[in-house]
Amino acid sequence: MSKRAYFGTDGIRGQANRHPMTAEVALRVGMAAGKLFMSKDERRHLVVIGKDTRLSGYMIEPALVAGFTSVGMDVRLFGPLPTPGVAMMTRSLRADLGVMISASHNHFADNGIKLFGPDGYKLSDERELEIEALMDQGLEEGLAAPNGLGRVQRIDDCQARYVEIAKASFPRRLSLAGMRVVIDCANGAAYKVAPEALYELGAEVIRIGVAPDGFNINDECGSTAPAAMQKAVKEYRADIGIALDGDADRLVICDEKGQIVDGDQIMALIADHWARTDRLTGGGVVATVMSNLGLERFLAARRLKLERTKVGDRYVMARMREGGFNLGGEQSGHIILSDLSTTGDGLLAALQVLAVLKESDQPMSALARQFEPAPQKLENVRFSGGKPLENEQVKKAIAEAEARLDGVGRLVIRPSGTEPLIRVMAEGDDEKLVSQVVKEIVGAVKKAAA
């Protein structure tokens, strides 16, 4: 595959107002993607655009709009809406393309552009490369005539539509009446829709992270900083805590004692329930190389398989579509329920957990630990330049660690697709060995990156 100049593992991402997250690049994305997705027929072509609550959204959105309208595409603007909501609305409004402006769980200073095809699925690598090729060509060709420019309209009911779709995923025979739920929206895209959906389903809702100001998205709140949710759960004696990230495509849960439930445990809980009620398809679950060995063993004990992919929810989704699976996700909390959504959806996953909780008539702490995780250690090493993984000493340290873990554990080392980080993860039944190999590799990477 050709080297990608703009797109990473999850769209284009970077610091706002610095390449590649500039107004110029956004304009080029709009023009290039618009041209690629405009078919030759005479009808009006449509792109829908949603965003989270970052200050830089005010810069990126109009630049994209200018690009799309310049090639003759009509634009519908949603304002703040979760990434999965944008994917749903792309299909629902029969748009040719959907765009989400978000850097997900990153700090406010970053932003990103994610693209969805008319089917609501994230674009393939091949499609992204086609857009990149067009972006780097002269964009003067193919511009619309003065009377063929696109029109722009703001859609006011998209949030209400998403709330209704979310509520419809919850079993009709059940209600959340009598349940106290803490929801932390990370001051992000779901700050209105998630509390509303829970309230309308009957819950008593304690809202945190619902006062975005352009700067406070993911700031000591949301799924990457769950301490705020844990504190609120204990303070208000809630039955469960739910923390979403900035664009609400992932979640972390805590039980009534404030204990964290990660994506692997959530997948195990839903998989077990769906398997017992004949809802699980594909004979198992799709997850990434980062998911715990304990999840694999838990599923195997129920004669279910765990299929692993590269890190990135679109790779999980691609395997789910190939194999007919309807449940997949990542340990980090991207949970994909493909009967309900075309991408990870924190709110829909939370509602499935709440349905199991309601039906079981047990506290969340009784359901939170579906399996005993194998000891797993993950460390991130930040680097400023170069390719530390190509260093001979790093390669040697990795080879030695693999030999020591052979047959008793596994090692996953990968560069982050969204930040200048090397992620070093090891797991196995011997906790001491796991810690030791991670420490040695991290040391070698740090030395190479110095």
Q: Name all contacts of 91-96 with Cβ < 8 Å and 24+ positions apart.
A: 91/118, 91/119, 91/120, 91/342, 92/161, 93/46, 93/48, 94/46, 94/118, 95/46, 95/47, 95/48, 96/37, 96/38, 96/39, 96/45, 96/46, 96/47
Which residue of the set 104, 169, 223, 338 is catalytic?
104
Cis ω before 20 (30° cut-off from 0): yes
Sign of the Cα torsion 171, 48, 183, 230 reads positive
β-strands 305-309, 284-288 pairing: parallel
Residues near 303 by Cβ (< 8 Å), separated by ≥ 6? none
- Map tokens 């990795």 to a residue: 398
Cα 307 to Cα 323: distance, rounded to the nearest angstrom: 10
Pick the closest to residue 305 from 291, 315, 52, 379 (CA basis).
291
- Map tokens 């780097």 to a residue: 136
Pick the closest to residue 250 from 258, 259, 233, 262 (CA basis).
262
β-strands 260-261, 335-337 pairing: unpaired
| Strand extents, DSSP E, 177-239 | 180-184, 204-208
List the end-to-end C-alpha distance of the chain, in Å, as a whole number: 30
Residues near 149 by Cβ (< 8 Å), separated by ≥ 6? 69, 70, 72
| Beta bridge pairs of residue 46 | 74
Are 295 and 287 a contacting pair, CB within 8 Å?
Answer: yes
Cα 106 to Cα 108: distance, rounded to the nearest angstrom: 7
Neighbour tally for 130: CB within 10 Å: 16
Residues in the chain: 450
Three-state DSSP string of 303-327? CCEEEEECCCHHHHHHHHHHHCCCE
Residues near 384 by Cβ (< 8 Å), separated by ≥ 6? 420, 449
User: Is 360 marked active-site?
Assistant: no
- Please list the active-site residues: 104
